[in-house]
Amino acid sequence: MAKIHLTVATPEKGLLTEEVDEVILPGRLGEFGVLQGHTTFLAELGTGRLLARKGTSTIEHQLSGGFAEVCNDRVT
């Protein structure tokens, strides 16, 4: 199965770069998920948890705003 390239960064530095199977993000208007092959879009993020599934493990980070860009099996 193809993977999603996930990058989490702040203006100061990169925090995470992983190849994952699924990403769930806290959008300003509600939570949304991204799988391989998702359409391209830009979303404003709210406060909440970023969850990234990688096989049977889950990566979790707390977010407090920002933006998510989804394009070509990449989430930044």
Q: Give the number of C-alpha atoms closer than 13 A to the C-alpha of residue 4, restricted to the C-beta side.
A: 28
pTM exceeds 0.75 for this model:
yes
pLDDT in tens, the chain (76 residues): 689 999 999 889 988 999 999 999 999 999 999 999 999 999 999 999 999 999 999 999 999 999 999 999 999 9
Tokens of 66: 């920002």
List CB contacts of 56: < 8 A, sequence separation 6 or more.
none
> Strand 30-35 relative to strand 57-71: parallel, antiparallel, unpaired?
unpaired
